[in-house]
Amino acid sequence: MNKVQWSDALLLGYEPMDEVHRAFVGLLAAAQEAGDEALPHAWQAVVEHTEQHFGREDEWMRRTRFSSAEIHMLQHRVVLNVLREGLAMARAGQYPAVREMAGELAAWFAKHTQSLDAALALHMRRQPMPQPSRARARQPHASTH
């Protein structure tokens, strides 16, 4: 099986994305190390994190009108559907199939990160900083002073 492992080759230099990717690698590694009993729960954590991970990237692409958004978002959709099928399999006790899927996901992730995500990270690094109004909204009591 293809074991997922963090390596600096996965670093894209856009911290919000690198942070999500590090967390993803941690969760996928945990799923790959999980025994049968723990696998459904560990796989569920991978699926839930991936929903957020892809959702966040999709939102960046939509917000900044990224030119390759369509193909990138399509890959996210397809992969997420497969992972959800994997969750059904894990809950049905089909552990070897889920382990195979985990290995394929690890290989896919490395390729995806170094191609489509790398292009998106470069694009995001060139974006202007977030709007001041958004930054202000995050500060507590900003409206009362």
Interface contacts to Fe ion, rule CB under 5 A: 57, 117
Q: How far is the CB of 50 from Fe ion (least distance, A)?
A: 9
Q: How far is the CB of 66 from Fe ion (least distance, A)?
A: 11
Q: How far is the CB of 96 from Fe ion (least distance, A)?
A: 27
Name the phi and psi angles at 40, rounded to 5.
Answer: -55, -45
Q: What is the Cα–Cα distance from 101 to 44, expressed in whole angstroms?
A: 13
Q: Which is nearer to Fe ion, 8 or 37 (CB)?
A: 8
Give Dmax over CA atoms of the chain in angstroms.
59
Q: Which is nearer to Fe ion, 42 or 117 (CB)?
A: 117
Instruction: Count CB atoms within 10 A of the CB of residue 143.
Output: 8
Retrieve residue 70's tokens: 């369509």
Using DSSP's 3-state secondary structure scheme, residue 38 falls into: coil
Q: Which is nearer to Fe ion, 52 or 142 (CB)?
A: 52
The residue whose Cβ lies closest to Fe ion is: 117
DSSP annotation of 129: P
Q: How far is the CB of 90 from Fe ion (least distance, A)?
A: 22
DSSP annotation of 126: T
Q: Which is nearer to Fe ion, 28 or 89 (CB)?
A: 28
Contact indicator for 64, 124 with CB cutoff of 8 Å? yes
